[in-house]
Structure 1
Amino acid sequence: MTFQFENFTLDAARRELRKDGDLVALEPQVFDLLRFLIGARDRVVSRDDLLDAVWHGRIVSEATLSSRLNAARSAIGDTGAEQRLIRTLPRKGVRFVGAVREIANAAQEAEREAMPVAPLASRDGARPPGVAVLPFTNMSGDPEQDYFADGMAEEIITALSRTSGLLVIARSSSFTYKGQATDIRQIGQELGVGYVLEGSVRRGRERLRITGQLVDAVTGAHLWSDRFDGDPHDVFDLQERVAESVAAAIEPTLQVAEIAHLDRHRPAQLDAYDFLLRAHALLADFTAAGMQGALQCLDQALAADPTYAPAMAAAAYCRAQCHFQGWAQQDEADRAAAVRQAWRSVELAPNDAQVLWMAAFAIWNMAQTERERARDLFNRSLLVNPNSAMALTLAGWIETMCGNGGNGRAMVERAQRLNPRDPRGWLMSGVMALAAVIDENYAEALRWAERSLAQNRRFAPALRVVAVANVKLGRLDRARTAVAELLEIEPGLTISGFFARIPVPLESMAKTYADALKAAGLPA
């Protein structure tokens, strides 16, 4: 079904909103909200109606609901003050009041029957995950410490709300369970979430101990746990530090859990989110075959939803990794297409931190004239979610390569502090190795590179550091062994081909690499 109102056209089948023929960028959830309001324009839609249609019955905060309504109004040139098209009726609900003309054909009619589309549902529907943070238990025996336990949970809710693709239940809903001995699986069902975070606070004479654990609300299994100690006289700093670490650790943990859930419960028909999960599982393998498999999954995700920004950004990122590792021959047209895809994902999801850093990595590696803009995207990503270990690591990489080693190290060290058990720790170690090469501290570079390769032997940048550092330390046999391993990863690798493909802004670093790789036996 296609709906026309004023100078706008909303195409439900293509999931597009156009103004005077030009595409209007909309987040998927905002599109669903607008589509539902237009389809139900003959009546006043209550808050519960919106939750059922757009959030599939999930409880979301009033702030979230208001922000989506405001975004829908903004997209169609309306405002909360004017309410020309979307009118709010106090204590009753919302109604689309504009004059609408419907145009249907057979294919679009089938689409209409399936509406409302793409709700952000619970894990049973294989949608992006939801998590509820329960009030932390005060185990100090001192009722006055309740304020700290409550504040701890609130800080974590705030930190988690910045995570891409994660629905976090509002405090007003999750805190209704305070003081209740309720089964985690029951809470998950009642709040419509797949995961629950709980914890406790215990105070000693001179120390505060905070524990937290993430629980699968379907199986009851523990997915992650940790404890933190701090000074009770500096409670606000401690709350902030714990919340940041919890948010950074939970992001990759939930992704692994969602992938495992998909493997256990294979749906008959995969949707865009399912394909994205499969792509992330293949990306984690970090092999040429895995990257190609991930790209196939992402192509299928975009076939299911052509405006799915996370899949667009992941596809551009995947192509950039293939380019970076030398796993695929990509000509100028291929690279330009990947860069366009990266920028399109940013247009569609300008406030999604993961979309921003994935797009930034692709643009940095595949668009020589746009590298400064890529650095801006990394900065924007960290403004949205300063607790993303991957954003910090990749942004630190770029800063290091640009000669800002101090800033680059600080970013990576923060990522390591936030999540010392991150499964992508090999990437963090790789950045530290590069920084040490730039500082001409080759023994330190070698230590970091070997640490990286202990986790991921296929990581070409770490192998290059091993070759360069061993040449500088007079160990030519070890350097030649590293080059032999590089040639196994990329059989056609040459020094000139490396510099044609990989951005090395620092002239001093480029000369060091060229001389050392030549000495280690890499063809010119």
Structure 2
Amino acid sequence: MSTDFTFGPFVLDRRRGRLLREGRPVAVSSKGLRLLEALLGSPGQALTKTELMQAAWGDTAIEESNLSVQIAALRKQLGPISEGGDWITTVPRVGYRFVGLPATEPMESTAEPKALSAEHRPWIAVLPFTNLSGEREQEYLADGITEDIITALTRFRWLFVVARNSSFAYKDRSLDAKQIAQELGVEYLIEGSVRKSGQRMRISAQLVEARSRRHIWAERYDLELTDVFAVQDEIAERVAGAIEPELLKTEGAQAAARHTGNMTAWDIVRRGTWHFHQVTRENHHKARELFRQAAKLDRELPEGHLWLGRVNAGLVAYGWSDNRVADLREGTEAALKAVQLDERNPYAHYSLAIISAYADQLEQSISAARKAIEISPSFALGHLILGTALLFNGSATEAISPLEYGLRLSRHDPQGFAWFNMLALARLFSGRPEAALEAAARALQVRPNWPTSLEVLVCCCGTLEKWDEARRWAQQIAGFTSPSDDILAPLKAHNPAWTEQMASSLRRAQA
């Protein structure tokens, strides 16, 4: 017997917890899928708000406005019926009704979306985390963390996440990752475990590419168990924030390898992201050309525009721009276009935030960064650019927290050397030179011999009166023949006292 509902061009695959339109996945939240399943199960009948909230949230107490938001999102994702009107109608003072008639005859379940084209976004499933505590009463903790990670990942626009009910069908089952992935129709799996001992808890998580069984990312977290729900939120944000950049890099590399000359705008973007993450002058320019192609090929695809904004900011910041004014103008226009096309996309607001930071629009940068975090609280880049913009604007103390949190969420960011330098300066100008030196050293570990990292190290060592070390770093700076980057240009333009402190340390170290 099939587990599918069909209506119009759509198939709701309940076993895998996903909605397909003409064979392609539609981004619907887990709550939205539960609501749609309830409505499809009673075609033509009015379901009360209470019935629908029970179907989506169970016994959790929520505001009725949450239901309205989910229904509105569903209507937008489904679009109008061919003859006009919505698939879901409001029944005044009662609830909602599904208008279309789903298939009533059993049908063969769609094992894979037809035409899994290069344009499809990766599917990921979060398997129930294993409770290693040996205490059955701690089972709820492992389940809660799993659910929170699923919810956190649904906020990201680069991937589709299998709904909770489908993932939890594999709880306490010992199956091969490849088999589970085939049954769920996903490319990636997140596996993990929870071990509680007294007031300490260790959580391990790993991201697996199912077909090859290759481990892409793994991390372990040791936490104090002071507040169960706070811990669940924190670990969910850490895991989601760390996994998503790894997927971006992996998917971009796959798109680059698949290149055959017949590319969609979406695949062109992913090829561009692979070059972008190499963080070299040549690769940034290659990435920009690809993002320009994507934006021209599909003017309604937000990702083409938002990445064009990001790469122009990078070209300016790293000193690789041949025309700073033109690049900032192109980047700002692209980022604003991305926000216009998809105002709920945190990457669009991040793009606007980072290009604004280098276009001398710091208030706009701070506002856009905060909007990105509001949309996606575990969005590491949102926190990092917020801290950077605050630092550029002269608020060193206020910049520390978002920078530290962003780096904790995304420890393996290929551009981490830039963020560690920002953290070092925020700490330094807040009167914490020892902590600043530690962050500056981390920046150099990520990318050895980067001129700005050496400059920041000189300043930190000079503040601590460690002049022998400062001179050693200054000598390395003198060995560079190419001009330094402009990554600190906004900071120096807006904060003359800090600029003089850095310059004074460098002069003394070079004397």
Counterpart for residue 295 of structure 1: 288
- Please tell me whether residue 512 in structure 1 is matched to residue 480 in structure 2: no
Kindly report which structure 2 residues correspond to 1:40-119, keeping only aligned pairs within 5 A, or say none: 44-45=8-9, 47-48=11-12, 51-53=19-21, 56=24, 61=30, 63=32, 66=71, 68-71=73-76, 81=89, 89-90=98-99, 92=101
TM-superposition CA deviations, 1:97-156 (whole Å, max 9, x none): xxxxxxxxxxxxxxxxxxxxxx99997735322211112233444443332222121011
Unpaired stretches in structure 1, ≥5 consecutive residues? 1-39, 95-118
Q: CA separation in 1, counterparts of 2:347 and 2:354?
A: 11
User: Structure 2: how far apart are the matches of 1:215 and 1:207?
Assistant: 27
The Cα shift of 1:70 comes to: 2.6
Larger deviation, residues 476-485 vs 163-172:
476-485
Residues 520 and 323 of structure 1: CA distance in aligned 2, closer, same or farther (over 3 Å):
farther
Query: Which letter does structure 1 place at the counterpart of 2:262?
Result: Q
Query: Shift of residue 59 of structure 1?
Result: 9.2
SS at match of 1:200: strand
Listed as ranges, the matches of 1:187-198 within 5 Å are 187-198=180-191
Match 1:312 to one of 282, 289, 305: 305
Question: Helix, strand or coil: the match of 1:504?
Answer: helix
Equivalent in 159, 166, 169 of residue 173 of structure 1: 166
Cα distance in 2 between the residues matched to 1:413 and 1:92:
52
| Alignment of 1:484 onto 2:493 | no
Change (3 A) 1:507 1:171: same
In percent, how many aligned pairs have the same letter? 28
Structure 1 residues 471 and 232: CA distance shift in structure 2, 3 A: closer
* CA 1:488–1:180: 2 relative to 1, 3 Å: same
Q: Map 1:337-376 to 2 at 5 A.
A: 337-366=330-359, 368=360, 370-376=361-367
1:442 and 1:418 mapped to 2: Cα distance? 24
Question: What code does the residue aligned with 1:256 have?
Answer: K
Pair 1:227 & 2:209 matched: no
Which one of the candidate residues 404, 408, 420 is aligned to 1:429?
Answer: 420
CA distance in 2, matches of 1:73, 1:263: 32
Cα distance in 2 for residues equivalent to 1:353 and 1:267: 31
What CA distance in whole angstroms lies between the structure 2 residues aligned with 1:388 and 1:301? 24
Q: TM-score, normalised by structure 2?
A: 0.75
Query: 1:406 matched to which residue of 2?
Result: 397
Stretches of structure 2 that go unaligned for 5 or more consecutive residues are: 1-5, 37-70, 104-111
Q: Within 2, Cα distance between the matches of 1:341 and 1:232?
A: 44
- 1:59, 1:192 within 8 Å by CA — same for their partners in 2? no
In the alignment, which residue of structure 2 is the partner of 1:415? 406
Give 2:498's aligned amino acid: M
For the pair 1:389 / 2:357, whether they are aligned, the reply is no
Cα distance in 2 for partners of 1:374, 1:357 equals 8
* 1:462 to 2:453 alignment: yes
- Which 10-residue stretch deviates more, 131-140 or 438-447? 438-447
Flag the 1:149–1:378 CA change in 2: closer, same or farther, 3 A: same
Most deviating of 298-307 and 285-294: 298-307
Shift in Å, 1:183:
2.7
Mapped contact 2:194–2:204 kept (Cα < 8 A) = yes
Give CA deviations for 1:263-283 in whole Å, capped at 9, x if unaligned: 554455232232222222222
> Which range moves more in the overlay, 247-256 or 220-229?
220-229
SS of 1:212's equivalent?
strand
Q: How well do the aligned residues superpose, as a CA RMSD in angstroms?
A: 3.9
Q: What is the distance in 1 between the residues matched to 2:160 and 2:299?
A: 22
- CA deviation after TM superposition for structure 1 residue 387, in Å: 1.7
Q: Give the drift of 1:447.
A: 4.6
Change (3 A) 1:187 1:303: farther
Verify the 8 A CA contact 1:392 1:411 in the aligned structure 2.
yes
> Are residues 55 and 505 of structure 1, via their aligned partners in 2, closer, same or farther at CA, if it must alter by over 3 Å?
farther
Q: Kindly indicate whether the alpha-carbon contact (under 8 Å) linking 1:458 and 1:489 is maintained by their aligned counterparts in 2.
A: no
Are residues 303 and 421 of structure 1, via their aligned partners in 2, closer, same or farther at CA, if it must alter by over 3 Å?
closer
Q: CA deviation at 1:299?
A: 1.8
Amino acid at match of 1:506: N
Q: Which shows bigger deviation, 347-356 or 478-487?
A: 478-487
Cα displacement string for residues 377-413 of structure 1 (whole angstroms, at most 9, x for unaligned residues): 1001111222222222221111122222222111122
Once the 2 structures are TM-superposed, how far is the Cα of residue 252 of structure 1 from its aligned partner? 1.8
